[in-house]
Amino acid sequence: MFRRKTRRRRREFLLDSNQTHRPKGRKIRNRMMNLVVQFLFLRQIARLFRTSFLVSFIFSLITLFILIALFSPYFDIKKIAFLRDDPRLDIELLEESVADFYGKNLLLLSHQKMKNHLYDIFPEFETIDIQEKWPSEVELKVTLSPPFVNILNHELANFWVVTKSGIVLQKEAQEGLPLITVFQHEKPITHRQKFLKTEELEKIFAARDFIHQELDLKISELHLFYVSKEVHLITENNFSIWIDLAQDIEPQVRKLKLAEEKIDFYFSPLEHIDLRIPNQIFWK
């Protein structure tokens, strides 16, 4: 009996001891975990603080630089240099045209505004390249549109050179360029004038090339009637082909190909062929 009671007490003692010791271990582990989490959390906060401080510092430096650049005369434009590819460019006139840009802040310089300003004054410019030379210089490289055709004003008997976009480039003819004789233009032609539209020039030479390639008719002269907007293409056989610049060129000149069998372009004594009326062709 005594042994049984002793064993029971031992069991109860073991059970009691197990129940009292386990919660203490868990509490210690929980405390350790909490300490670790708090430590990691504090490290994250410290990292965020350092990062935000660094970002704020960099942003402050940038802001300070911008303020200094905007309000300091150190960055005001003091020199504008021109690089030209053509001796016909007047440097003095170029420098006068950009006088209003001196004293402007280089940081606020609008390249497009500067280009538009120069194109308005010099429509013959083909390209304008702007390079900023910090802290206070600008370098401009300009190129002229190449000469495309000579213009003879029949009424005033003077020559001009025109670009492909129809801008009057210079007075006096240039050797090696095709010639267009202009009628019905009594006013003087002026330098930098928009004398012809790009599409009109394209139509004139498209008609000339088609007639030469498709019909083997060489064009010796080009006559432009400025007011009526028509072109007379004079062939080597001394007859003229009339086209209307206000209409599409291709339907007009293709009528020549269709009428090739009816009209003897090469041996008949023709005076002119009129292609201006849609879907019709007249000749004399």
Q: What is the pLDDT of residues 102-118, one digit of tens each?
A: 999 998 899 999 999 99
Residue 159 dihedral angles phi and psi, to the nearest 5°: -105, 150
- For residue 126, the tally of other CB atoms under 10 A from its CB is 14
- Residue ranges of alpha helices (H) inside 72-165 are 91-97, 111-121
70-108: per-residue pLDDT in tens? Answer: 677 888 999 999 998 788 888 899 999 999 999 999 988
List of the chain residues with pLDDT < 50: 1-6, 13-15, 17-21, 37
In this structure, the answer to whether residues 234 and 275 fall within a common structural domain is yes
What range defines the domain where residue 93 resides? 74-144
Calpha distance 264→270 (Å, rounded): 9
Looking at 124, 144, 164, which one is the last position of a domain?
144
Calpha distance 9→20 (Å, rounded): 16
Q: What is the pLDDT of residue 5?
A: 47
In this structure, the answer to whether residues 23 and 59 fall within a common structural domain is yes
Looking at 85, 110, 144, which one is the last position of a domain?
144
Among residues 228, 227, 223, which one has the least CA distance to residue 152?
223
Calpha distance 183→187 (Å, rounded): 11
In this structure, the answer to whether residues 81 and 124 fall within a common structural domain is yes
In this structure, the answer to whether residues 218 and 186 fall within a common structural domain is yes
149-184: per-residue pLDDT in tens? Answer: 999 999 999 999 999 999 999 999 999 999 999 999
Q: What is the pLDDT of residue 268?
A: 83
CA 11 to chain centre: 95
Calpha distance 279→251 (Å, rounded): 8
In this structure, the answer to whether residues 180 and 272 fall within a common structural domain is yes
CATH number of domain containing 261: 3.40.50
In this structure, the answer to whether residues 135 and 33 fall within a common structural domain is no
In this structure, the answer to whether residues 119 and 62 fall within a common structural domain is no
In this structure, the answer to whether residues 45 and 8 fall within a common structural domain is yes
In this structure, the answer to whether residues 172 and 110 fall within a common structural domain is no
Query: What CA–CA distances, in Å, run from 250 to 163, 204, 275, 278?
Result: 23, 11, 11, 11
Calpha distance 269→284 (Å, rounded): 9
In this structure, the answer to whether residues 125 and 215 fall within a common structural domain is no
Calpha distance 275→251 (Å, rounded): 9
In this structure, the answer to whether residues 47 and 171 fall within a common structural domain is no
Paired with 241 in beta bridges are: 233, 273
Looking at 55, 71, 87, which one is the last position of a domain?
71
Calpha distance 212→218 (Å, rounded): 5
In this structure, the answer to whether residues 178 and 258 fall within a common structural domain is yes
Q: pTM for the complete prediction?
A: 0.75
Radius of gyration of the chain (CA): 44
**Count of the separate structural domains present in the chain:** 3
